[in-house]
Amino acid sequence: MSSANFIMLKQIWQKLHQGPAFAKASVGKQAKLFYIMNQQNQITNRQAKILAAIIKEYSTTGLPVGSGELSEKYGFSVSAATIRNEMQALEKAGYIFQPHTSAGRVPTDAGFRFFVNKLMKHLELTQIEQQRLQQELKTLQKQYIELGKSLTKLLAKQAQGAAFALLPGNASVTGLSNVIDSSVSTEEVREIAKFLEDVSEYGGQLVKTDEVKAYIGSEAPVPLAKDFSLVVTKVNLPHGEKGVIGIIGPKRMKYARNISLLEYVKKLLATGLSAIIIVSIPQLTQFPS
């Protein structure tokens, strides 16, 4: 895909976030169609906008999205019938599907992956958010002896999900209750609990590079409930120690927010800022360098 098309896709998502009126006035003016190759499938500019809107709506409500909702809320200049036809094309391409209980559509793993790779705007935490995170981590470190416990408490609260920290000599998990609600099956609860129980065995499988990695649904290289996603990264501590931190949540999680959260905590740990009390821990070599 050309850099021009990539930039245009990012602009589409950014403008959708600014509300229906802005989307209709600005995004709607981009009449020229372009094509984006994803494996063997092609989608048009309008289909990309519709997919972005479906993911935005589904991430907010957790409910299947219908063409009428998109027409009313997102200011598309075409009829609900046209949107419905485009949704059928997206379904055929494998980006959305229709649950048997609803006429609306839900993003597939491929749809979420397309969003994360092509449409999602990179998010930077504000200066105020960064200061609050530093202060909160400092406070937590006064309450808990283990750095891992402080990290998981912080991440679980900020992401409203489950979190884990695999540090030398210590593994900590927190927040299972955050990802359990009436929509989560008993089997999924067991799968998530089992993953968290065994997470210390998975560090090397989850992180291959220094970048924050998002695993969507069935993409995870380790056992994880199919309707959940995992955002994870390797961390480097000030004295050369290494570890892994991660967040688990539903597939409709706020990927940009959670990725930026891990990126900033990773930075804090690497620099050993005075706002954080780093405890001395032995070297652990099971994680990739």
Quick one: pLDDT at residue 10? 52
Digit-coded pLDDT (tens) for 157-166? 999 999 999 9
Token pair for 283: 């070297």
Alpha-carbon distance of 53 to 13, in angstroms, equals 8
Q: pLDDT tens across 44-95, in order?
A: 989 999 999 999 999 999 999 999 999 989 888 898 899 999 999 999 999 9
Q: Which of 251, 177, 188 is nearest to 214 (CA)?
A: 251
More confident residue, 127 or 14: 127
Structure confidence by residue, pLDDT tens digits, 206-257: 888 889 999 998 888 777 778 899 999 999 887 788 899 999 999 999 999 9
- CATH for 3-119, among 1.10.1740.10, 1.10.10.10, 3.60.20.10, 2.40.10.480? 1.10.10.10
Q: Give this prediction's pTM.
A: 0.76
- CATH topology match: 3-119 vs 127-271: no
Mean pLDDT of the 9-25 span = 48
**CATH 3.30.450.40 correct for 127-271:** yes
Integer CA distances (angstroms), 234 to 115, 162, 165, 215, in order: 23, 17, 10, 14
pLDDT band at 11 (very low <50, low <70, confident <90, very high): low
- What are the boundaries of each domain within the chain? 3-119, 127-271
